[in-house]
Structure 1
Amino acid sequence: MSLTRSAFLARRAFSAAAGGHEGGANTWKILSFVVALPGVAVCMANVWMKMQRHSHDQPEFTPYPHLRIRTKPFPWGDGNHSLFHNAHTNPLPTGYEGEHH
């Protein structure tokens, strides 16, 4: 019995000497404030600067035959608009909506 008890005490002493996981939460908290939040701030600044330079005009429509192929109509609306259709950025097979040829 003393052999089992001494093995248990040795394991317990070893795990206590290893330091445990007490500092893990504090490490992640520090990493969140030092790495994650500045990273999010840099990404937001990058997006804001790109939006300032971006032209909001529609690109010229080129009717490539391999794009916007409709083999069957979409099951909603008039069958020609995709589910997340944006009239400003997504042209139909004939061109942008509201554009008079």
Structure 2
Amino acid sequence: MATILNHLCRRHIFITSARTTATRIQGPSAIAGSNEGGYKTWRNLALFVAFPSICLCALNCVLGHEERDEPEEFVKYDYRCIRTKRFPWKDGNHSLFHNPVVNALPDGYEEAN
């Protein structure tokens, strides 16, 4: 059993040292075949995957954006608008970036002006 383990350890050391030497001679393993350095792969990914994905996401945001005229009906649940202490600004009930159309107070939405 010990001879088998000894043989496997020596073989592993020999193979890893051979790979390291071959990498130093041939260059890094990221080279894509004919010494291109892999830049063509990344260029193609950027041109054909990344930029179209960004454009599609932007188009989705623009077309999917709907202006809400009326907020949904407020239902006072126990877990909504829990205030254990007052906010340290304004009247203590509005959040820092309060939007009266979207953000409800504990009693419901504010009246639209």
Deviation of 1:22 after TM superposition, in Å, equals: 4.1
Count of residues paired in the alignment: 89
State the Cα RMSD in Å.
2.9
Partner of residue 58, structure 1: 71
Partner of residue 28, structure 1: 42
The residue type equivalent to 2:48 in the other structure is V
Structure 1 residues 15 and 65, CA, compared in 2 at 3 Å: closer, same or farther? same
The residue type equivalent to 1:68 in the other structure is C
Q: 1:74 & 1:12 partners in 2: Cα distance?
A: 62
Structure 1 residues 13 and 97, CA, compared in 2 at 3 Å: closer, same or farther? closer
**Secondary structure of residue in 1 paired with 2:89:** coil
Partner of residue 89, structure 1: 102
User: Is this contact kept in 1: 2:81–2:106, CA < 8 A?
Assistant: yes
Structure 1 residues 19 and 44, CA, compared in 2 at 3 Å: closer, same or farther? closer
Q: 1:73 & 1:56 partners in 2: Cα distance?
A: 30
Q: Percent of aligned pairs with the same residue? A: 41
Structure 2 gap ranges (5+): 1-20
Partner of residue 26, structure 2: 15
Structure 1 gap ranges (5+): 1-9
Structure 1 residues 12 and 32, CA, compared in 2 at 3 Å: closer, same or farther? closer
- TM-score computed with the length of structure 1 as normaliser: 0.68
The answer to whether structure 1 residue 42 and structure 2 residue 53 are counterparts is no
* Structure of higher RCO (CA pairs closer than 8 Å, 6+ residues apart): 1
Partner of residue 76, structure 1: 89
